[in-house]
Amino acid sequence: MAKKTPAINSSSTADIAFLLLCYFLMTTTMGSHFGLNRRLPPMPDPTQKIEDQKVNRRNIIQVKINAADRILAGSEAIDVSQLKDKIKEFLTNPTNDPNLPEKEVKEIAGYSKGTYPVSKGVISLQNDRGTSYKAYIAVQNELVKAVNELRDDFSMREYGRKFAALGEDEQKVVKDCIPQNISEAEPKDIGQRR
């Protein structure tokens, strides 16, 4: 009769695995990398003649943040919490106000109705050297939020789904209909330097 081999005591494997686990917990970081994507405008060519880009005044809203983190949108000082609605009103222009941006009926590839009145509004963001980064990001965030909410509204109306749930082609249509025109103006040296 063959002798039974005794079972190997496996209670220590858990300890070994715990050690490995602790090692990985210490040496790695969570892969959560989030942020706000932006595209910087290319540096103007010094040899090129400066063409005065004439943009109709009604098509531009200037958002300025000063060194004390106060916000000026258009011509009035407002709070961050009001900024989103202001931008949404600016971009949609629901009453066709002559002071708000004009719309251009554009043909959009892939759009079922063919054309859509695309707003020509541009948001120009200007900051001071003394502005805190926190306030700057808060404003950037509000601007993106305004555009995202408009896109969501549009998607719900057209496709019955949120923007994030759409397919790639449909997302492109929505992006064409509601563009995100945020321009970061050339920096100006105003206020105290830090």
Partner 1 sequence: MSRFKQGGKKEMPGITSSSLSDIVFMLLFFFMVTTQMRETENKVKVVTPEASEVVKLDRKDLNSYINIGSPTLAYQQQFGTESRIQLNDSFRTTDEIRDFIAAERDSKKESDRQLMTVSIRADQDVRMGIITDVKQELRRCSALKIMYTARKPAK
Which residues of this protein are in contact with partner 1, per CB under 8 A?
A: 10-11, 13-14, 16-18, 20-21, 24-25, 27-43, 127-134, 136-138, 140-141, 144-145, 148, 184, 187, 193-194
CB 84 → partner 1: shortest distance, Å?
10
**Joined tokens for residue 110:** 């892939």
**Radius of gyration of the chain from Cα atoms?**
26
* Cβ-based burial of 49 (10 A; exposed 0-12, middle 13-18, buried ≥19): exposed
Nearer to partner 1, 108 or 122 (CB): 122
Rounded CA separation 125/143 (Å): 10
Nearer to partner 1, 38 or 105 (CB): 38
Nearer to partner 1, 7 or 109 (CB): 7
CB 31 → partner 1: shortest distance, Å?
5
CB 8 → partner 1: shortest distance, Å?
10
Closest Cα partner for 66 from 84, 81, 82, 78?
A: 78
Nearer to partner 1, 2 or 7 (CB): 7
Core vs surface per residue 57-84: b (16+ CB within 10 A) or e: ebebbebbbbbebebebeeeeeeeeebb
CB 70 → partner 1: shortest distance, Å?
14
